Amino acid sequence: MKFNLKTLVAAVALVAAAGANAAAIDTGAGGNGGLFFNVWDATGSYTRNLGVDLTSFETAVNGAANGVQVYNFAADSTLTSWLSGKSSFSWNIMAVDNQGAVRVLETAGQSATLTAKASNIVRTAALQTTTLVGSINAPLASANSATYTTADAGYVGKAAGGVSTINSNIGWPTAALGSAANNSYAAGLLIEEANGNAAGTTVVANTILGNANGARAYFDANNTLVIQTADAVAAVPEPETYAMFLAGLGLMGVIARRRGNRA
């Protein structure tokens, strides 16, 4: 099995960053906010800080020269507990840049019709996203994920100020949201941005992130969030597998040197 070394390094770096981060999500108020993952239903929600900023994420998934990249965010105990007994839920990934030419990133269903809105409307949605992240952040001072009841300000499914309000403003329908059915690359969600200028009402086109096919996100049967830049012929190994791979290369180098010395 052949692996692309650039791909492996990129995948491991992003997964490691996500695992190490146990802090509040960057709200994007100063620009370049952090990515976060939400799962919710009518009874409450779960949010996780993915530990990567918007611009770094764009750079990673738009790097066509790096080949297939697969980023795995395995379920934590908080998510596993929250999902227990649930068969129906919505999910998405979001991030916001609320400075200058604003960006609101969100996952969207492949068949969803996403309408580009005037810049002033997208700026309103960006501000609402920043406000929502601020509400989400309270429990994230000592952990990178948390759950919320419908009474909490950080509940993303709330009727006013939640995901539905933001999506209504940026012109994204309910069909844009993920569900349990979006559990493979083929059925995955696209990762898109609603864009707006710093001032005025000019309509700026939405941006699809990733290669020619678009990067996709899916939530698999193991409750792992996966972000993948193309349909992989051979899966990228997990970080521990990659560590073994490097160790193997090191051992081969030692053997080669010993043979050279004997010669």
Q: How confident is the model at residue 141 (pLDDT cuts 50, 70, 90)?
A: confident
| CA 178 to chain centroid | 12
Check whether 242 has a pLDDT greater than 90. no
d(CA 20, CA 43) in angstroms, rounded, equals 29
Q: Can you tell me the mean pLDDT for 33-56? A: 97
Cα-Cα end-to-end distance for the chain: 31
Check whether 116 has a pLDDT greater than 90. yes
Least confident of 20-24, 194-198, 210-214: 20-24
Q: How confident is the model at residue 247 (pLDDT cuts 50, 70, 90)?
A: very low
Check whether 185 has a pLDDT greater than 90. yes
Q: Which residue has the higher pLDDT, 26 or 230?
A: 26
Residue pair 44/155 in contact (Cβ under 8 Å)? The answer is yes
- The domain segmentation of the chain, as residue ranges, is 5-236
d(CA 158, CA 29) in angstroms, rounded, equals 22
- pLDDT digit string (tens) for 59-68? 888 875 556 7
Which 3-state string (H, E, C) describes 9-52?
A: HHHHHHHHHHHHCCCCCCCCCCCCCEEEEEEEECCEEEEEEEEE
Total-model pTM: 0.82
Residue pair 60/53 in contact (Cβ under 8 Å)? The answer is no
Check whether 139 has a pLDDT greater than 60. yes
